[in-house]
Amino acid sequence: MTFQPGRKTFQRAALAAIAILSTISMPHAQTVLLNVSYDPTRELYRDINKAFNEKLVAEKKKPIAVRNSHGGSGGQARAVIDGLDADVVTLALSADIDAIAQRSQRIPANWQSRLPNKSTPFSSTIVFLVRAGNPKAIKDWDDLARPGIQVVTPNPKTSGGARWNYLAAWGFGLKKFGGDEGKVREFVGAIYKNAPTLDTGARGSTVSFAQRGVGDVLIAWENEAYLADLEFGKGKFDIVTPSISIRAETPVSIVDANVDKKGTRELAEAYLQFLWSDQAQAIAARHYYRPVRPEAAAKDDLARFAKLELLSIDDDFGGWAKAQATHFGDKGIFDQIYSPAR
Amino acid sequence: MPDASTILQQNAHVAGGGTTAGTTRRRAPVTGEGPVARAVLIGVAIAFLSLFLLLPLVVVFVEALRAGAGAYVAALTEPDAVAAIQLTLMVAAIAVPLNLVFGVAAAWAVAKFEFPGKSFLVSLIDLPFSVSPVVAGLVYVLLFGAQGLFGGWMRENGVEIIFAVPGIVLATVFVTFPFIARELIPLMEEQGTGDEEVAMTLGASGLQTFWRVTLPNIRFALLYGVLLCNARAMGEFGAVAVVSGKIRGYTTTMPLHVEILYNEYNSVAAFAVASVLALLALVTLVAKVFLESRYSDELAARSH
């Protein structure tokens, strides 16, 4: 007869398994800040966190652990509303922080006036990334509406970057058609008809375009376009700067209810103020974000930013509250122009 | 009871009668197909398996080792990766024993007793198989999230469930719940209550009966269920992604960490972590094959 493990063997094995499993330790607590951010800032905040700790050490304070969570800006805001314990939020647009303030009351409504520059330490803009040599000759927004062009852009419902993409296209349309909204709708609708799939976050779209080779043109954050260019080696893509784009302001805030509960308010405020420091501004410019204090950044880094006409969310679209409701709310213009296309 | 080979031959006669009607009956191939047809079928099966299972597995290891063994080791010893591996093991270490207890209890109740609502309980056990993992995760957000049913009260009292380790454990327990119970119920039903009744008649207590009679009878099926449950617990992505909050090095399990690394253009590290998951799956597979042979012996032994 073959080997049959007996009852004793089985019981012993079970006990041994329990003993081994119980020795696996729990992750232990330490002084921690949780920065809930949007998708493309992973590399930026890795450097900023390091610089912030260096500053703390230089001031003879204890270094802290900054934990990061990244994802589509809208989804991240949703997670904070649902209880993700963020000390600070650094999101892609103010509407997402407004949503946290309104729905969870964990941030006061006047949050944007608490820090300089409407709580925006650096901004970005929206550009195009195309395949090397620009085979489809894409130069400006109207090329994206041409039949046969495949556009890659994330979903404005979940991604902050995608909402900037959409508004930049809308702004171009407004200028081109002299404010005729019917024509602008048709124009932006034609661009989204050329976008077969919408990823949930900007990084997902970049990976689709750059790594999986989907599409002819990626509408992307300027910083994301440069980063993809660096990561995949020069010469694989060209960056195309359209004639008009939008100043994509990416604001920051502490989450008051969370920092008060955890007793991390002082540290969280210091962390956000650090974003306006010379060091952080220089780091931002190095990562292709446009700093609000360009004098702190390296000249070479600044020289890389193309000069173009930038629309403003407040002056040209009446602020995020209005733009959000008009364009991205339930049954807003985006819903109207996108659903029939499918 | 007829043995397996006679059944096979009978089936072969039925199949052969259909396909080779009127021609002389060949004796040698039991299945009735000619050697060419057999070679083609086997070839197609092997090609399919290689293309869809073996090749991706090989790719994982090739990509992981693309930048050399040094980069591979560095990717796995990086603190966030270590934290992800630890978290995954810990979640499995909690979820699997819980499901072990629940699974045995549920299978015991369903297989050995008659009670009203039994079929309802069986469908309830199957629920996690039919519910999408994303929904499973969202359900916990709706219950325990800050805006959820119990979330507000829990936050006030400092209980963290969602976007923390307990939520990940809950979601994992939910999706892996049926594995052990489903493995045990058919076996225990087949075994019936005879052995237990004999033990009881001979004066054994309920606990003694369970520990000395029932448990030894189901040990291989139980181990098999534990293996499957463990494999799913370590590999679960959807439900965990919803409740995790994706805090690097804190609430990212291995599958989530793989996705994060891939999205950071760090495919070597992503595939290195993926290769650990694949290795764990291979270990499970080997253990499963071993147990399957044992388990079928056990089943065969029962029918004598």
pLDDT tens sequence across B184-204: 999 998 888 888 889 989 988
Q: What is the token pair recorded at A239?
A: 């960056």
A27 interfacial to chain B (CB closer than 8 Å):
yes
Chain B CB contacts of A18 under 8 Å are 97
**Residue A15 has what pLDDT?**
54
Rounded to whole angstroms, the Cα distance separating A48 from A31 reads: 17
Q: How far A106 CA sits from the closest chain B CA (Å)?
A: 11
**Confidence band for B13, pLDDT divided at 50, 70 and 90:** very low
**Residue A188 has what pLDDT?**
95
Instruction: State whether residue B260 is helix, strand or coil.
Output: helix
For the cut 50, the answer to whether the pLDDT of residue A1 exceeds it is no
**Confidence band for A219, pLDDT divided at 50, 70 and 90:** very high
For the cut 70, the answer to whether the pLDDT of residue A39 exceeds it is yes
Distances (CA, A) of B238 to A36, A93, A241, A254: 20, 27, 38, 29
Minimum-distance CB partner of B151 among A21, A69, A83: A83
For the cut 60, the answer to whether the pLDDT of residue A340 exceeds it is no
**Confidence band for A341, pLDDT divided at 50, 70 and 90:** very low
Mean pLDDT of A41-59: 94
pLDDT tens sequence across A128-145: 999 999 999 999 999 999
**Residue A182 has what pLDDT?**
92
Q: Which of these, A27, A31, A28, lies nearest to A271 by C-alpha position?
A: A31
**Residue A136 identity (one-letter amino acid):** K
**Residue A241 has what pLDDT?**
95
Among A157-161, A180-184, B39-43, B99-103, the range scoring the smallest mean pLDDT is: A157-161
For the cut 50, the answer to whether the pLDDT of residue B22 exceeds it is no
Q: Which of these, A37, A93, A110, lies nearest to A69 by C-alpha position?
A: A37
Minimum-distance CB partner of B245 among A24, A25, A79: A79
- Crossing angle of helices B215-235 and B165-191, in 10° steps, is 150
For the cut 60, the answer to whether the pLDDT of residue A152 exceeds it is yes
Interface of B with A (CB under 8 A): 83, 86-87, 89-90, 93, 97, 141, 144-148, 151, 155, 160, 162-165, 212, 215-216, 219, 245-250, 260, 262-265, 297
Chain B CB contacts of A27 under 8 Å are 83, 86-87, 165, 250
Q: What is the token pair recorded at A266?
A: 């002082």
Number of Cβ within a 10 Å radius of residue B84: 27
Chain B CB contacts of A79 under 8 Å are 163, 245
Minimum-distance CB partner of A34 among B97, B148, B247: B247
Number of Cβ within a 10 Å radius of residue B196: 19
**Residue A172 has what pLDDT?**
95
ipTM beyond 0.95? no
A204 interfacial to chain B (CB closer than 8 Å):
yes
pLDDT tens sequence across A258-301: 999 999 999 999 999 999 999 999 999 999 999 999 999 999 99
Rounded to whole angstroms, the Cα distance separating A96 from B236 reads: 29
A18 interfacial to chain B (CB closer than 8 Å):
yes
Q: Which residues on neighbouring strands pair with residue A152, listed in sequence order?
A: A218
A1 interfacial to chain B (CB closer than 8 Å):
no
Instruction: State whether residue A68 is helix, strand or coil.
Output: strand
Residue B267 has phi, psi (to 5 degrees) of -75, -30
Quote the mean pLDDT of chain B.
84
Q: Which of these, B273, B287, B290, lies nearest to B86 by C-alpha position?
A: B273
Q: What is the token pair recorded at B195?
A: 């052995």
Q: State the maximum Cα–Cα separation within chain B, in Å, rounded to a whole number.
A: 83
Strands A290-291 and A122-124: antiparallel
- For residue B214, give every residue at least 6 positions away whose Cβ sits within 8 Å of its Cβ, in sequence order, or none: B108, B188, B195, B196
Question: For an interface test with A, which of B219, B298, B304 has the most A Cβ atoms less than 10 Å from its Cβ?
Answer: B219
Handedness of CA B213, B217, B218, B220 (dihedral sign): positive
For the cut 60, the answer to whether the pLDDT of residue A74 exceeds it is yes
Rounded to whole angstroms, the Cα distance separating B96 from A17 reads: 11
